[in-house]
Amino acid sequence: MELFPSNNPSLPQFSSLAYVYFGILVCSFLVTFDFTRFNKRKREELENTITKYGQFDKIAMIGCGSMGSGMALLFAENGLEVLLSDPSEKQMDAVIEKAKKEVFGERLRKYKDYKSLCASLSSPKLFVFSLPRGTVGDSVLEGLTPHLTSDNIILDCGNESFANTERRQKKCRSTGIHYLGIGVSGGHQAARAGPSMYPGGDEEALKTVMPLLEKVAAKDKHGNTCVGIVGRGSSGHYVNMVHNGIKHGMISAISEAWGIMKNGLGMDYEEIGTVFEKWSESGELRGMLLISIGADLSRKCDPSSDNTLVLPIALDKVVQDITGEEGTRIWYNAEAINLQIPTPTLHVSHDFRLASAYRGDRERAHTLTAGGWPPQKLSLSENGEAKAQFLEQLRQATYAACLASYIQGLNMIVAADKLHSWEIDYASILQTWKAGCVIQADYISEDLLAPIT
């Protein structure tokens, strides 16, 4: 029996093997996933131990890049005095100027050395790292350590690898310093407005900082905070890595759907935007932020140029089809292989991105083959009924790929949890994905996964 029956021979048929494979992924998720780990009683006991208000009135923000500056302003807006540290005094001045424009500039101060920075903090001292991944964090930690005491807490909110976080936690443990790995999602916009956050590490220190994190984190449409204790060790940064993998899988699938509509069906940008908007309003793609973003991008106009659509202009100006790698794409692919967890949707999204980087090679191949093999429009593009039916199949396929991204990512977390004994709270993770991050999807989180959360 066909899942998407059609009597029109021009409609491409989806492979039954694809559905079998997708079914295997779903079943493997259900088998692998230990639902007894969603111990709500344990979470309630933990929540009862967290005081209503945090004990911090000052924090040190080390790193004032796009994410760090956004979080500095967010903390200041919520009443904290923020002490800034960054190699670039210009960066610190820019953050302070932004704060002045938002009428809380008096809450930010800059420091040029760690000694005076640490001396200005109340006890217990709280530090927030927003640093580039790798050795920068090691250098900063080494410089800070002589000025730290055993009650101090470091929140590493950078896009760091879980292995580096684990190593630094072990190093700090011997001196009594609490080093917590905090995954932060949503980009620099969310860092300013309220991100989705995944804290992991020492339970005692996590209890201490949770009131503050709950105050600044994103809230879902029901007012529930999108931050929760993930588990022990470096689990917070691990979950953030997996979140990024899920995001890339979803983006790749949605981009492919966009390309099929544009090149296969000959649809214009406005029409594609309308389809995406319809998809995001109901059904399995309801409330999927990335679909909504696709709709907005397809129809966004430039008011300074007679409301010309900006997407074709942007595409014409692209000279290299690649953006900077933040590391997580390599990490989650390598980790999935090491754990022997199948993540084809996530892996293919990375392959597409790598292929995109070789634009010069593609252009040479295009020239050598006298134009190559341009996309051919589907024969149903002018058939209203057949086109509508195909678009429904495309919607279902897009949903399947997005759901598969979720499943593959969660399977990675389950396997890593068993290996590292992190005691991960999966319900907490799924709650954090409801707002403040780009993989939010109302149908998946509220309907499909509701029994878990």
Question: Taking the chain (453 residues) in consecutive chunks of 10 residues, what is each chunk's mean pLDDT?
Answer: 39 43 46 43 43 71 96 96 96 95 91 96 94 93 95 95 96 95 93 96 95 96 96 97 96 96 92 97 96 92 76 60 62 94 95 83 86 80 83 98 97 98 95 96 88 67
Spatial contact of 68 and 39, defined as CB atoms under 8 Å apart: no
CATH, domain range 42-233:
3.40.50.720
CA distance 452 to 445: 9
Q: Give me the CATH topology for the region 16-32+240-421.
A: N-(1-d-carboxylethyl)-l-norvaline Dehydrogenase; domain 2 (1.10.1040)
User: What is the pLDDT of the chain when averaged over all its residues?
Assistant: 86
What is the model's pLDDT at position 205? 95
Q: How many CB atoms lie within 10 A of CB 118?
A: 20
Chain position carrying tokens 């190559």: 372
Which has the closest alpha carbon to 117: 153, 139, 86, 71? Answer: 86
As given in the structure block, the two tokens for residue 424 are 């991960």
What is the model's pLDDT at position 110? 96
CATH 1.10.1040.10 intervals, the chain: 16-32+240-421
CA distance 201 to 153: 11
Question: What is the tens place of the pLDDT at every residue in 274-288?
Answer: 999 999 999 999 999
Spatial contact of 161 and 133, defined as CB atoms under 8 Å apart: yes
CATH 3.40.50.720 intervals, the chain: 42-233
What is the model's pLDDT at position 414? 97
Question: What is the tens place of the pLDDT at every residue in 362-400?
Answer: 888 888 988 778 878 888 766 688 999 999 999 999 999
Q: How many CB atoms lie within 10 A of CB 54?
A: 18
Strands (DSSP E) found in 122-269: 126-129, 153-156, 178-185, 196-200
What is the model's pLDDT at position 54? 58
Which has the closest alpha carbon to 372: 381, 360, 364? Answer: 364
As given in the structure block, the two tokens for residue 244 are 């990024």
